[in-house]
Chain A
Amino acid sequence: MDGQNRDCELLEIYLLDGLNAKDKAEFEVHLSRCEACQANQSELQQVIDLLPLAVEEQPVPAGMKKRVLSNVLGQEANADTTGAKQSTSLATERRLNRKNGQSRWLIPGLSAAVALLVFFAGYQQVTIHDLNQQLAGSDIKPGEPVKVEQAVKLSPAAEDFVSEGLATIVIDQKGTHLLVQAEQLPQLKGTEAFQVWLIKGETKVSAGTFLAEQGNGALYYSFEPNDYDTIAITLEPDALGDQPRGKMVLAAPIRTGDIG
């Protein structure tokens, strides 16, 4: 057996990460030159990729999702000192290339509040009062002024809804931003999502979608003031729509034409 073939015999162990550092480095040199190993690598890797499936299922600890995402995103919000972090919904992001609006973190202090609202409103029972306090700027850094331009209470759009919410428009050096928070929202089913709309006459512009936890949810959106006269939240069959298809849950008149 020649040296080439002996090296080839290490392919499986290499792919299973069973070579020590020295052997691994040597094998990678061999792999870069050996067509036979390169041809086998892909198929063997597919087999190895399936090994996680051989693991027996385990019950996930209660509340793990909340803890994991809380720690990951909480850390992010606290560590974000540069601002301009994007926080968009999947549907909103798709539209960003077509519109001027851009969802992103407003400022570090507020970003923490938004992150908490979006993900943990349900767990922490954040109230509109809390939101107002956060917007009032206790976390805002000097030199990064934010002006609360307008705050309107969102009212139930139908008698069978008990939801309530607050839409706040704030302005900073980066532009105009909308912060929406809602409580006592209907329970979502399947792919359903809540969607926020800025409305000007018959024109409806999506400000993004959000999910709710225990009836609470929030959304943050940057936009160009454009004489919008109404803000509304609808219950949509999924988070992918460009125009309303579902029921209106909350709504309120706004004025954005004279902003800026």
Chain B
Amino acid sequence: METPIDEALIMQRISQQDPVALEALYDRYEKPLYAYAYRFVGDAMLAEEIVQELFMRIWNRAHTFDGSQSKVSTWLFAILRNIAIDQLRNKQNRTAKQTQDAETFAELIDDQVNLEEQAANNLMAAEVKNAVRELNEEQQHVLDLMYYQGLTQQEISEKRGIPLGTVKSRIRLALKHLRTRLVEFERR
């Protein structure tokens, strides 16, 4: 049985330039980080570049990680999201995938998710997918534009031609629903 190694310890060792620790962190997060990067850019090569940039930053800035402020996974996904959004914003010729009307979360979710085969961690992933799927189309759309395409509320308002207050209310309702659903799940 594999003994879990404390992730904060891994981060500490990465900050001391321990390449074995970096590899350990990579092995743990390769798949979710790549999938997350791919979700932003829709391009395998670009997604790999984003993951590489992330690990470059981890290697050089691991000392800035504060375990008392956030989990390692939160820190990783937050940095990766920033890199991905920077990539999107910096690219003048965005690909059709980014410029077309936003796909909804539901369109990206595989209905064939087999919960029985999911590990415990994946059960939460499935729950999150289900919770997102339950949002109405407008809520999914606005959440997608803000979270995965990095648009501000003003940009969404202009892009979609909807009042700023509507953007705000859709986001608030979406998160309220997710919060309720996920709290329920954790209580089970």
Partner-B contacts on A (CB < 8 A): 9-10, 12-13, 16-20, 23, 43-58, 60-61, 64-65, 67-69, 71-73, 75-76, 85-90, 93, 105, 115, 118-119, 190-191, 209-211, 238, 240
Cβ of B35 and Cβ of A210 under 8 Å apart?
no
How many angstroms from the CA of A46 to the CA of B68 in the assembled complex?
A: 14
B124 to chain A, nearest CB (A): 6
A57 to chain B, nearest CB (A): 5
Q: Which of chain A's residues have a CB closer than 8 A to the CB of B55?
A: 68-69, 72
A189 to chain B, nearest CB (A): 11
Return the CB mask of B53-95 against A: 1 if under 8 Å, else 0.
0011001100000000001011001000100010000000000
Cβ of B32 and Cβ of A88 under 8 Å apart?
no
Cβ of B3 and Cβ of A64 under 8 Å apart?
no
Cβ of A44 and Cβ of B59 under 8 Å apart?
no
Closest residue on chain B to residue A111 by CB atoms: B17
Cβ of A118 and Cβ of B19 under 8 Å apart?
yes
Cβ of B48 and Cβ of A64 under 8 Å apart?
yes
Shortest Cβ-Cβ A-B pairs, 8 listed:
A53-B125, A18-B146, A53-B128, A55-B39, A58-B35, A58-B38, A68-B52, A85-B17
B137 to chain A, nearest CB (A): 16
Among the listed A18, A46, A69, A75, which residue makes an inter-chain contact with B151, where contact means beta carbons less than 8 Å apart? A18
Among the listed B21, B23, B110, B179, which residue makes an inter-chain contact with A44, where contact means beta carbons less than 8 Å apart? B179
Closest residue on chain A to residue B109 by CB atoms: A56
Pull 6 A–B residue pairs with CB atoms less than 8 Å apart, ordered by A.
A18-B152, A43-B179, A58-B38, A68-B51, A86-B18, A105-B17
Cβ of A73 and Cβ of B109 under 8 Å apart?
no
Task: Tell me whether B160 is interfacial, beta carbon within 8 Å.
Answer: no
Cβ of A75 and Cβ of B56 under 8 Å apart?
yes
Q: Which of chain B's residues have a CB closer than 8 A to the CB of A19?
A: 152-153
A49-B30 in contact given A56-B109, A191-B2 (Cβ < 8 Å):
no
How many angstroms from the CA of A46 to the CA of B77 in the assembled complex?
A: 13
A88-B18 in contact given A19-B152, A50-B182, A240-B3 (Cβ < 8 Å):
yes
Closest residue on chain A to residue B58 by CB atoms: A72
Q: Which of chain A's residues have a CB closer than 8 A to the CB of B172?
A: 9, 12
Cβ of A69 and Cβ of B179 under 8 Å apart?
no
A-B contacts at CB below 8 angstroms, number: 167
How many angstroms from the CA of A238 to the CA of B3 in the assembled complex?
A: 9
A73-B59 in contact given A53-B129, A65-B30, A67-B52 (Cβ < 8 Å):
yes
Return the CB mask of B102-135 against A: 1 if under 8 Å, else 0.
0001001110000000000000110011001000
How many angstroms from the CA of A109 to the CA of B159 in the assembled complex?
A: 53
How many angstroms from the CA of A52 to the CA of B31 in the assembled complex?
A: 12
Among the listed A13, A68, A105, A211, which residue makes an inter-chain contact with B20, where contact means beta carbons less than 8 Å apart? A211
Interface residues of B in 133-170 (CB under 8 A from A): 143, 146-147, 150-154, 156, 167-168
Q: Which of chain A's residues have a CB closer than 8 A to the CB of B35?
A: 55-58
Among the listed A18, A43, A76, which residue makes an inter-chain contact with B17, where contact means beta carbons less than 8 Å apart? A76
Closest residue on chain B to residue A96 by CB atoms: B16
Cβ of A191 and Cβ of B18 under 8 Å apart?
no
A76-B34 in contact given A56-B109, A64-B48, A93-B18 (Cβ < 8 Å):
no
Among the listed A20, A69, A211, which residue makes an inter-chain contact with B154, where contact means beta carbons less than 8 Å apart? A20
Cβ of B16 and Cβ of A55 under 8 Å apart?
no
A32 to chain B, nearest CB (A): 15
Cβ of B3 and Cβ of A191 under 8 Å apart?
yes
Cβ of A13 and Cβ of B34 under 8 Å apart?
no
A251 to chain B, nearest CB (A): 23
A93-B31 in contact given A18-B171, A19-B152, A191-B3 (Cβ < 8 Å):
no
Closest residue on chain A to residue B110 by CB atoms: A56
Q: Which of chain A's residues have a CB closer than 8 A to the CB of B32?
A: 52-53, 55
Which among B71, B167, B172 has the greatest number of chain A C-beta atoms within 10 A?
Answer: B172
